[in-house]
Amino acid sequence: MIGVTAADQYFTGILHNEEWNTADPSMKKRALEQAETQLYRYFRSFSPATRPLPDEAVFEQAIWLLRMDDSVRKTQQGVRSVGVGGIQISSDAVKPICPEVVILLGRRVGRYDR
């Protein structure tokens, strides 16, 4: 498991790092754990024992998770449009993996388009 301290150091050099900087240590730890779990599920050619994920891929996925607002989470659950007071918002499904991670780890054939 990648530590919060290493992630804190990584994000000092990232331009848009507000979500990471405002999260409490417990939230940061959970984001790193969930990011690592997701990436090992999606990129099965990586394995904790034989081919670990690059730290920066986990960091990028962790901040991607922290950036998700309620509307993004709803689209992942299948909601495609919401209307309130005569205003309608429609959205496409959001890809669960950060685009930066796809660049770092490579594209799974048939899974992502760049």
Any idea where the domains of the chain sit in the sequence? 4-105
Model-level pTM?
0.79
Contacts of 99 (CB under 8 A, 6+ apart): 114
CB 43 within 8 A of CB 65: no
What's the average model confidence in pLDDT over 88-102? 80
Q: What is the DSSP letter of 74?
A: H
Specify the pLDDT at position 75.
62
CB 19 within 8 A of CB 67: yes
- For the purposes of burial, counting CB atoms within 10 Å of the CB of 27, is it exposed (0-12), middle (13-18) or buried (19 or more)? middle
Instruction: Give the whole-angstrom CA distance, residue 88 versus residue 64.
Output: 26
Q: Could you report the per-residue pLDDT of 32-86, keeping only the tens digit for each?
A: 999 999 999 999 999 999 999 999 999 999 999 999 876 666 666 666 676 778 8
pLDDT at 13 over 90: yes
Give the residue among 5, 100, 108 at the shortest CA–CA distance from 54. 100
